[in-house]
């Protein structure tokens, strides 16, 4: 908090000492936005400029919606049916045809089958993970594009820290930021959880809090609390501007008279950074905050009550369904990257109801048929159709993926944690859905072997997927930055864009 010691009175005949005491704090604009606004002056941001068209899909996307299915659904039972395999591999679901010639899906996804002409599948993604074949290590790899070298030797999750490598959303917020009155990286649905740890692979890590996500994890089936993007009841925009003008005056006086430094706390000092040769001031986060409040575009993106009841019901009145609708609204409002997280923790025991886990070590088929797939099928199909009808799909890349797949053989443990009718973790081969953003629809890229256990053709690494997301947004996947020890770091450890998708 910015404080100036002295007796009560008026300053410049306009603003009281009481008002002055509040400047230097984000609370003056009624925002609880992340410290990214406060630290804006420390960032070296690439401007949001238009990217020239290239035939390999580079720069065709303006936004990304990452639908993250934490817990990981069975690829064989959803995306990659194996009707000719033995019963202990193919399982209980039969394949069904789709509107994309030659593409088959599991019978539990009839609504997505009707939208198959709008999306593509990749059936040959896989990785041999370092450490334990568990969720934490796989999540970190998928989200950051780097091996989890800061995890325990078994690959177990550790608390997120500023030494982590940045998440894909944070990288995009850094290299393709949205406009000053828009949010660059928003996470909705629920936190990513692995064991006791929350937020594995989700933050900006060593890039700094500037690029952390704006997280809205309230249940969107209920009215959302938007205090973080609104003014307090007793503060008008005119009053807000007068406070910021005063803050600018004090900042200028401080620059002219550094003797004031001892009586200013760090919250009100000007922060300057000269890495780029341009001096940036602490005021920048105020301008960003004011832009967000004044334009109201970001707030409107969260106002689900503006949607018709028919639209809301098409997405499904579930936490996941309304989060998908929220993602569409946020993209319309200019958000660059939206991550929709499945509500259940990655390693929860699967339970009945719309919000249960995909981690089906037991009772895989009844859980998918009766609970997981009806919710997922309705909501994701609605999102893809809605984006297309509104003319947003061409410029919005949509990816739906878990951190790995499930074991081909039912009830066959790769660890000691598989029960009757269950499928274990399987990172070696799985599938993901991709649509929009220049991706040619209706295609199946890559192929798994006859049991769905290993890639057979066009093998893809999870890091290739992240490179593809960067590529679609016009970010060179070989871009490097410097970490806290001034070492060069790539956006992804290795990998190349999957240009065959475009």
* Three-class secondary structure assignment of 269-294: CCCCCCCCCCCCCCCHHHHHHHHHHH
Residues 319 and 387 in one domain: yes
pLDDT for 388-428, tens place per residue? 999 999 999 999 999 999 999 998 766 667 888 999 999 99
* 343 within a domain of the structure (yes/no): yes
* 76 within a domain of the structure (yes/no): yes
* 54 within a domain of the structure (yes/no): no
How far apart, in whole angstroms, are the C-alpha atoms of residue 373 and residue 375? Answer: 5
Q: Is 253 helix (H, G, I), strand (E, B) or coil?
A: helix
pLDDT for 304-352, tens place per residue? 999 999 999 999 999 999 999 999 999 999 999 999 999 999 999 899 9
pLDDT for 163-184, tens place per residue? 899 999 999 999 999 988 899 9
Average model confidence (pLDDT) across the chain:
83
Give the tokens for residue 472: 């679609």
Residues 34 and 166 in one domain: no
First to last CA, the chain: 51
The helix (run of H) or strand (run of E) holding residue 421 is: none
Q: What percent of the chain has pLDDT over 90?
A: 64
Q: Which residues contact 159 (CB under 8 A, 6 or more apart)?
A: 197
* CA 102 remoteness from chain centre: 31
Residues 259 and 317 in one domain: no
Report residue 19's pLDDT band, with 50, 70 and 90 as the boundaries. very low
Domain that holds residue 264: 1-46+228-295
Report DSSP letters for 460-479, one per residue: B-HHHHHHHHHHHTT--TT-
CB atoms within 10 A of CB 141: 25
Backbone angles phi, psi at 20, to 5 degrees: -60, -35
Report residue 134's pLDDT band, with 50, 70 and 90 as the boundaries. confident
Domain edge (last residue) among 295, 312, 347: 295
Domain edge (last residue) among 274, 295, 316: 295
Residue 230: per-residue pLDDT: 64
Q: Which residues contact 246 (CB under 8 A, 6 or more apart)?
A: 11, 12, 14, 15, 19, 20, 23
Give the tokens for residue 346: 């990655």
Residues 180 and 85 in one domain: yes
Residues 273 and 366 in one domain: no
Are 142 and 72 within 8 A, CB to CB?
A: no
* 52 within a domain of the structure (yes/no): no
Which residues lie across from 64 on neighbouring strands?
Answer: 337, 397
Residues 496 and 359 in one domain: yes
Residue 421: per-residue pLDDT: 93
Residue 247: per-residue pLDDT: 59
Residues 213 and 290 in one domain: no
Give the tokens for residue 451: 């049991």
Residue 260: per-residue pLDDT: 43
Question: What are the CA-CA distances from residue 352 to residues 320, 369, 390 (Å)?
Answer: 15, 11, 34
* 72 within a domain of the structure (yes/no): yes
| Kind of pairing between the strands at 488-490 and 480-482 | antiparallel
What is the total count of domains within the chain? 2
Rounded mean pLDDT, 148-158: 67
pLDDT for 242-275, tens place per residue? 655 655 555 565 556 554 444 344 334 333 333 3
* 334 within a domain of the structure (yes/no): yes
Residues 3 and 120 in one domain: no
Report DSSP letters for 295-354, one per residue: H-HHHHHT-GGGS-HHHHHHH-SSHHHHHHHHHHHHHHTT-SEEEEE-SS-TTPPP-SST
* 419 within a domain of the structure (yes/no): yes
Report residue 34's pLDDT band, with 50, 70 and 90 as the boundaries. very low
Rounded mean pLDDT, 292-302: 76
Which residues lie across from 399 on neighbouring strands?
Answer: 66, 434
Residues 396 and 357 in one domain: yes
Rounded mean pLDDT, 470-482: 94
Q: Which residues contact 25 (CB under 8 A, 6 or more apart)?
A: 1, 2, 267
Which residues lie across from 125 on neighbouring strands?
Answer: 430, 460
* 51 within a domain of the structure (yes/no): no
Report residue 17's pLDDT band, with 50, 70 and 90 as the boundaries. very low
pLDDT for 186-215, tens place per residue? 999 999 998 888 999 999 999 999 999 999
* 234: pLDDT strictly greater than 90: no
Q: Which residues contact 191 (CB under 8 A, 6 or more apart)?
A: 198, 199, 202, 215, 217, 341
Shortest CA distance to 402 belongs to which of 5, 53, 25, 68? Answer: 68
Report residue 285's pLDDT band, with 50, 70 and 90 as the boundaries. low
Q: Which residues contact 206 (CB under 8 A, 6 or more apart)?
A: 162, 163, 164, 165, 166, 483, 484
pLDDT for 78-117, tens place per residue? 999 999 999 999 999 999 999 999 999 999 999 999 999 9
Specify the higher pLDDT residue, 157 or 472: 472
Residue 298: per-residue pLDDT: 79
Domain with residue 459: its CATH number is 3.40.720.10
Domain edge (last residue) among 271, 295, 319: 295
Report residue 2's pLDDT band, with 50, 70 and 90 as the boundaries. very low
Residue 41: per-residue pLDDT: 39
Residues 425 and 331 in one domain: yes
CB atoms within 10 A of CB 6: 10
CB atoms within 10 A of CB 402: 27
Residues 366 and 482 in one domain: yes
Are 458 and 82 within 8 A, CB to CB?
A: no
Q: Is 261 helix (H, G, I), strand (E, B) or coil?
A: helix
Are 46 and 177 within 8 A, CB to CB?
A: yes
Residues 319 and 356 in one domain: yes
């Amino acid at each position: 908090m910015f404080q100036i010691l002295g007796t009560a009175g008026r300053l410049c005949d306009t603003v009281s000492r009481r008002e002055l005491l509040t400047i230097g704090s984000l609370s003056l604009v009624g925002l609880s936005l992340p410290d990214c606004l406060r630290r804006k002056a420390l960032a070296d941001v690439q401007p949001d400029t238009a990217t020239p068209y290239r035939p390999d899909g580079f720069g065709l996307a303006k936004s990304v919606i990452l639908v993250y299915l934490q817990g990981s659904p069975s690829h064989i039972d959803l995306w990659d049916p194996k009707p000719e395999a033995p019963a202990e591999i193919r399982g209980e679901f039969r394949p069904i045809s789709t509107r994309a010639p030659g593409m088959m899906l599991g019978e539990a996804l009839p609504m997505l089958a009707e939208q198959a002409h709008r999306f593509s599948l990749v059936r040959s993604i896989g990785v041999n993970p370092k450490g334990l074949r568990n969720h934490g290590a796989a999540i970190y790899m998928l989200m950051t594009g780097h091996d989890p070298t800061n995890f325990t030797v078994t690959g177990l999750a550790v608390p997120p820290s500023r030494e982590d490598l940045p998440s894909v959303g944070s990288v995009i917020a850094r290299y393709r930021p949205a406009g000053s009155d828009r949010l660059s990286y928003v996470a909705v649905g629920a936190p990513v959880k692995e064991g006791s740890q929350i937020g594995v692979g989700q933050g900006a890590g060593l890039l700094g809090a500037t690029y952390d996500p704006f997280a809205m994890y309230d249940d969107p089936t209920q009215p959302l609390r938007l205090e973080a993007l609104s003014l307090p009841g007793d503060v008008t925009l005119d009053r807000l501007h007068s406070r910021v003008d005063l803050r600018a005056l004090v900042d200028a006086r401080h620059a002219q008279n550094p003797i004031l430094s001892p009586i200013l706390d760090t919250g009100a000092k000007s922060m300057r950074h000269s890495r780029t040769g341009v001096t940036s001031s602490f005021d920048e986060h105020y301008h960003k905050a004011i832009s967000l409040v004044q334009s109201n575009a970001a707030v409107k993106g969260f106002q689900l009550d503006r949607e018709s009841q028919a639209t809301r019901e098409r997405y499904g009145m579930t936490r996941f369904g309304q989060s998908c609708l929220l993602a569409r609204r946020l993209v319309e409002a200019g958000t660059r990257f939206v991550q929709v997280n499945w509500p259940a923790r990655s390693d929860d025991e699967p339970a009945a109801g719309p919000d249960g886990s995909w981690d089906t070590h037991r009772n895989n088929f009844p859980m998918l048929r009766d609970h997981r797939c009806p919710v997922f099928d309705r909501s994701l199909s609605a999102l893809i159709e809605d984006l297309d009808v509104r003319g947003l799909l061409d410029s919005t890349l949509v990816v739906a993926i878990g951190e790995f797949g499930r074991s081909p053989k039912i009830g066959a443990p790769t660890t000691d944690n598989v029960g009757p009718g269950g499928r274990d973790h399987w990172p070696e081969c799985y599938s993901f859905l991709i649509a929009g953003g220049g991706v040619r629809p209706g295609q199946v890229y890559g192929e798994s072997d006859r049991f769905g256990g290993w890639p057979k053709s066009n093998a893809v690494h999870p890091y290739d997927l992240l490179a593809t997301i960067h590529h679609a947004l016009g970010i060179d996947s070989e871009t490097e930055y410097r970490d806290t020890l001034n070492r060069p770091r790539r956006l992804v450890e290795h990998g190349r864009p999957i240009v065959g998708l475009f």
